Structure 1
Amino acid sequence: MIEETSKENIELRIQMASRAYQFLKNTTIKERAALMNAVADQIEALGEELTQIAHVETSLPLARLVGEKARTIGQWRSYAKAVASGIYSDPRIDLAQPEKQKGDLRKYNIGIGPVVVFGASNFPFAFSTAGGDTASAIGAGCPVIVKAHPAHPQTSQMMADAITNAVKEFGWPEGIFSHITGTSYEIGAYLTQHKDIQAVAFTGSFNGGKALFDIAHHRENPIPVFAEMGSINPIFALQHLIENKAEALAKEYISSLTLGVGQFCTNPGVFISIKGQSLDRFIAAVRNEIQEIKPAKMLNNGIYESFEKHKSNTVKQPDTEIIVTTETEEGKASVTIIKTNAQSFLNNPVLSEEVFGPFGIIVICENQEELIRIAQNLKGQLTITVAATSDDVRKNAELINLLKDKCGRLLFNGMPTGVEVVYAMQHGGPFPATTDSRFTSVGPDAVKRFVRPISFQNWSDEFLPEELKNENPLQISRIVEGQVNTGSLKLETV
C-alpha cells in the first residue's frame, strides 16, 4: 500500500522548498556541482539491494538495471561538470563607458525557483526520483519536489534517501529535496497549481502531460511545464537503401522495436516506405525475425492492460492487416506487426497514435507523393529516422527538409532507441512529443530548462555574484564586451 502524502505535508514541503531556494541563490556553481557529485557517490554506494528491488517492482532485467544505475550516476557527474564550468550561468559583462553615458551591465542565469518532478515508470533510475530532471534542476539552483511514480515505490524511496543523505552531509536546508508519494491525480494538480512552484518536469503519457500543462497555463502566474509525452518515432525507408539491405534493415528494426518489451519513448512504432519487391522482402524478413521472440512481462499490469487495449483498437481499424503476431501468454506482451496503406494512415488518426509496447505499423505508400504527404501531416516527434543511402538523400531533398520540422532528433540510418547522455543530444521535439521543443531532457543542456537571466546595472564588485565579479574567482569563461574571456578584469571597484 502506497502512503498518500497529506495536503498539510505537501504544503510544508513547498514552504521548505521556497526557503531552500533563497539559500541556493547564494550558492556558487562550484558548490552545487560538489553536491551533485556527492549525490552520485551516494547512488553508487547503493548495493545489489537497489537493483533487486527495482527488478521486482518493474520486471526489468537486472543487466538493464545495472546499466541504468551507471547511466544515472553518470548523469549527476556529467551535469555537475557542466554546471561547474559556468556554461549555463552564461555570464556576460559590458563595462561602463562614462564618456558615452553607458552604465556597467552584467548578466547571468539563476535558478527559476522550486521545481516539481514527476517520476517516470519505464526508467526507475534515470528518469525518475534521482533522474536527469532532478539533477539538472538542482544544478540550476532549484529545489526539487519529486512526485514518486507509484509503480516502483521502494526503488523511489531508496533513490530519494540517497539525495537526502547528500544534502544532510553538506548541512544544506532539507527543503532542497523532497519526496512525495501517492496515487491520486489531485496531488499532481495541487503541486502544479501552487503559487510557489515555478516549473514542472514530466515524462509519461500525453493525457498526463497535457493535463499538467493546462493547469500551469491557467494559473494566475503561468509557469513552464517541460513534458515529454511520447512519440511514434517513424522510420522513412527510401528506395536504394531498402533495395540493398531489406533483410538487414528488418533485423535492425525488430531488434529496436522489441527492445525492453517496446517500452522506450523512442520506440520506432511506424515504418514507412513505397510499395515494391524490396518492401515485400522487408516484410517477409520481419515475419522471420520475430518468430522466436517470446512474450514478456511489461513494467506493470497497468501498462500491460493499456498496451492490450490500444493494440486491440488499432488492429480493428479499417484497411489494416496483421502481418505477424508472436505466441501469446496470459499477462505478457506479444509482438504484433500490422500493415496499412498511406491513405488510411493519413485519414485515420488512430493509426498515428502511440501504442506503448512491442507493436509496429508498416505504412505502404503508392508513390513519392504519398511519402511527402505523410511527412507534411506528421505530428511532432522525438525522433525520425531516414533509412537511406547518400544517393537517396540527394534525391529526396524535399522530404528531408520537411522532416526537419517534425522532430528533435533526425537520424541517418541506425535506430532511435538508445539515447546518449551528451551535450549534442536533443531529447525533445515539437508538440505533441513535448510541450516545449526548445529544450532537451537528456544531456547537460537539460539544465537550461530551469534557469532565467537577471541583469545587474551599476553594482559595485563587492555585491555582485561570484560569476560576475571582476576577479572571476570561479575561473569560468565569460563574454566580456562581446568577446570570450576567461581572465580577471583589472578594474577599480566603486
Structure 2
Amino acid sequence: MTGTTSAPLRGISPRTGEPVGDPVAVSTAQDVDVAARAAARAFPVWSAVPAADRARALDAAADALDAARDELVAVADAETALGEARLTGEVGRTSGQLRLFAEVLRDGGHVQAVLTPADPAAGRPDIRRMRQAIGPVAVFGASNFPFAFSVAGGDTASAVARIVAGALREAGAPEGVLALVTGFEAGAALVSHPAVKAAGFTGSPSGGRALYDLAAARPEPIPFYGELGSVNPVVVLPGAAAERAGEIAEGYAQSLTLGTGQFCTNPGLLFVPEEGALIDAVAARVGATATGAMLTSRIRDGYRAGVAERDEAPDLLPLASGSAGGDSFAVAPRVWRLSLKSFADRLDSLAEECFGPAGLVVTYPDLESLTEVLVSLPGSLTGSVHATHGDAAAAARVLTALRHRVGRLIHNGWPTGVAVCWAMHHGGPWPSTTAPLHTSVGATAIDRWLVPIAYQDCPDDLLPPELQNTNPLGIPRRVG
C-alpha cells in the first residue's frame, strides 16, 4: 500500500441511488500507521486504569449515543434505508451493549482469576493466573448493522466515531483509545500493522478469508475473529407442520424478509415434511411480502446473481416471489422448493448463503433421511426446530444432529434477533465463523480480546489486585 490518496468515499442512498452526505477521505498508509501507533501508546495507559473507571467511561459513551439518537438515526437512514424504527432500536441496542460491558468490568469474572497455593510436599510453587487485554485490536464495521456491529457508510461512521471518542475523552481515556480508518486498502494495512494484536470482522466469506490469511501470514501472526456466511437451517417437524402451518409460514416469511434479508441469521434453509398444507402456506405468505432496498448496489447485484443462479439450477422449483418496492436498490423475496434427495446431491453448492431475502424449502420424506443430511450441513450460527409435544422424540434427534453444526439451537422460534446478554453465543463452525469457540454478541464476546498470564511465587504487593490475597476488588475467583 502506498501513501497516495484514493478517491473519497461517498454515501449512496439505497432509495434513490444518489450520493448523500459529505465525501469522506480514504485513509492512507500514514493514517493507518498514526492510528495504530497511537493505540499502542494508549494501551498501557488505559489498561492501568481501574476497571471501575473504565466501566464509567463505557457508561458515558452509552449516554452520549442515546443523547445523539435522533442525529444518528437520520444520518444512518439516509445511507442505509433501514428505517427509523429499526435504527432507533439499534442505537438502543448499541448503548445497551456498552452498559453490559460496563457490568462485565465491574463484575470482574471475565479475568477468570485462579489461585493455586504452593504445596512444598508436592514440589509445587504458588501459581496465580488471570486474563489480561491482548493489546490494540482492529474491528471492521458491518453495513447491515451500522451501530450494533460498528459503522457503515461515510457520515454514519464519522458521527459514531466522533460521539463515542468524545465521550471517552471526557471520561479520561487517553488519545488513541478509539480511532477510525476508512477504505479497502486501509483495512488490509491495519490487519498487517505490528501494533495490532487481534482483529474482528463481519462480512463476506471471501473478504473474511482474505483477511484471515493475511493475519496468519504476518511475521507475528494474530488471532482473527471473522463472522462470515451462515444458512441457519430451520426444521419443521410433522406435528408442528400439521397444527401450526399458518403461524409457522407467517413467522418464516417475516424472518426471511426482515431487513430485506440482510441479517447474518437469515433462515436460508427450511426443511418441511413432504405432505401437508405448510408448503402452500409458505408460498402464500412469502408471495404476500414486500421488501425495501438493499444496503448497496454491490449487495443488490450479488443477490440478483444468486437468484439467477438458483433459477437456472435443475430441480429447484420456484415456490414464491414477493414484491420489491420502488427504491433504487430494492429486490424481491424469492423462495424455491426441492426434494431432500436433490438437495443432498448438490449440498455443497445449495448450502451456500445467498445474502438477502432468498430461501430454499427442502421437503423431507422421513426423519432418518433428514438427520443424515443435517449432520452434513456446513457450519451455521443457528439451527432451529419447530415441534409439538408429540414431536419431542424427533426434536431431540434433530437437535442432536444440529448441535455440532451450529452455535445456537432454537426451539419454536426464528433465528433473526440476537439477544445481548451474558448467555448469548453468536458464533459457529466454519464457514459461519473462523473461531467457533468465540461469540461476537453478549458478555463473553470480551473473551476474544483477552489472553492468560500466570504469576509464580510473586510477592503479594507485586501482584495485580485481581490476584492479591485480600481480593480488594471482590471479584469471583477459584482457589485450589
1:326 aligns with 2:322: yes
Identity %: 37
1:179 aligns with 2:180: yes
Residues 61-112 of structure 1, C-alpha deviation per residue, up to 9 Å, x if partnerless?
A: 1011111100000000011101210111111122334565543222111001
Contact 2:198/2:224, CA 8 A, preserved across alignment: yes
Counterpart residue number, 2:21: none
Residues 151-170 of structure 1, C-alpha deviation per residue, up to 9 Å, x if partnerless?
A: x2111111111221123213
What are the residue-to-residue correspondences of 1:349-368 with 2, within 5 Å?
349-368=348-367
1:78 aligns with 2:77: no
Gap runs ≥5 in structure 1: 130-148, 482-494
Residues 152-193 of structure 1, C-alpha deviation per residue, up to 9 Å, x if partnerless?
A: 2111111111221123213332111111012x3x22222112
Tell me the SS of whatever aligns to 1:363: strand
Tell me the SS of whatever aligns to 2:290: coil
Contact 1:106/1:455, CA 8 A, preserved across alignment: yes
Deviation at 1:226, TM superposition (A): 0.8
Which of 334, 337, 343 aligns to 1:336? It is 334
1:414 aligns with 2:410: no
Give the aligned length.
Answer: 455
Q: Matched residues in 2 for 1:189 and 1:340: separation?
A: 41
Contact 1:115/1:199, CA 8 A, preserved across alignment: yes
Tell me the SS of whatever aligns to 1:440: coil
Contact 2:257/2:291, CA 8 A, preserved across alignment: no
Counterpart residue number, 1:488: none
Residues 195-218 of structure 1, C-alpha deviation per residue, up to 9 Å, x if partnerless?
A: 221111011111111111111122
Q: Closer, same or farther in 2 for the Cα pair 1:216/1:399, shift >3 Å?
A: same
Q: Matched residues in 1 for 2:272 and 2:261: separation?
A: 21
Deviation at 1:434, TM superposition (A): 0.5
Residues 10-55 of structure 1, C-alpha deviation per residue, up to 9 Å, x if partnerless?
A: 1111111111122233223222212211211221221412110101
Q: Matched residues in 1 for 2:342 and 2:274: separation?
A: 15
Tell me the SS of whatever aligns to 1:343: helix
Gap runs ≥5 in structure 2: 1-7, 10-24
1:106 aligns with 2:128: yes
Q: Matched residues in 2 for 1:293 and 1:453: separation?
A: 50
Counterpart residue number, 2:20: none
Contact 1:88/1:448, CA 8 A, preserved across alignment: yes
Which AA in structure 1 matches 2:144? N
Q: Closer, same or farther in 2 for the Cα pair 1:315/1:462, shift >3 Å?
A: same
Q: Matched residues in 1 for 2:94 and 2:357: separation?
A: 25
Which AA in structure 2 matches 1:457? Q
Q: Matched residues in 2 for 1:157 and 1:405: separation?
A: 40
Q: Matched residues in 2 for 1:362 and 1:171: separation?
A: 54
Contact 1:227/1:434, CA 8 A, preserved across alignment: yes
Counterpart residue number, 2:40: 18
Which AA in structure 2 matches 1:168? R
Which AA in structure 1 matches 2:109? I
Tell me the SS of whatever aligns to 1:377: coil
Counterpart residue number, 1:88: 110
Deviation at 1:390, TM superposition (A): 3.2
Q: Matched residues in 1 for 2:127 and 2:468: separation?
A: 12
Contact 2:300/2:329, CA 8 A, preserved across alignment: yes
Q: Matched residues in 2 for 1:282 and 1:113: separation?
A: 52
Residues 320-364 of structure 1, C-alpha deviation per residue, up to 9 Å, x if partnerless?
A: 111121235564111111111222212223321111111111011
- More divergent stretch after superposition (103-112 vs 24-33): 24-33
Deviation at 1:230, TM superposition (A): 2.2
Deviation at 1:397, TM superposition (A): 4.1
Contact 1:294/1:326, CA 8 A, preserved across alignment: yes
1:203 aligns with 2:225: no
Q: Closer, same or farther in 2 for the Cα pair 1:455/1:415, shift >3 Å?
A: same
Q: Closer, same or farther in 2 for the Cα pair 1:456/1:323, shift >3 Å?
A: same
Q: Closer, same or farther in 2 for the Cα pair 1:395/1:283, shift >3 Å?
A: closer
1:317 aligns with 2:318: no
Q: Matched residues in 1 for 2:105 and 2:175: separation?
A: 21
Residues 363-392 of structure 1, C-alpha deviation per residue, up to 9 Å, x if partnerless?
A: 112333331221121010100111112332
TM-score normalised per structure 1: 0.88
Which AA in structure 2 matches 1:458? D
Which of 11, 31, 38 aligns to 1:9? It is 31
TM-score normalised per structure 2: 0.91
Tell me the SS of whatever aligns to 2:382: strand
Deviation at 1:292, TM superposition (A): 3.3
Q: Matched residues in 1 for 2:179 and 2:361: separation?
A: 45
Q: Matched residues in 1 for 2:248 and 2:195: separation?
A: 50
Contact 1:273/1:371, CA 8 A, preserved across alignment: no
Q: Matched residues in 1 for 2:387 and 2:122: separation?
A: 58
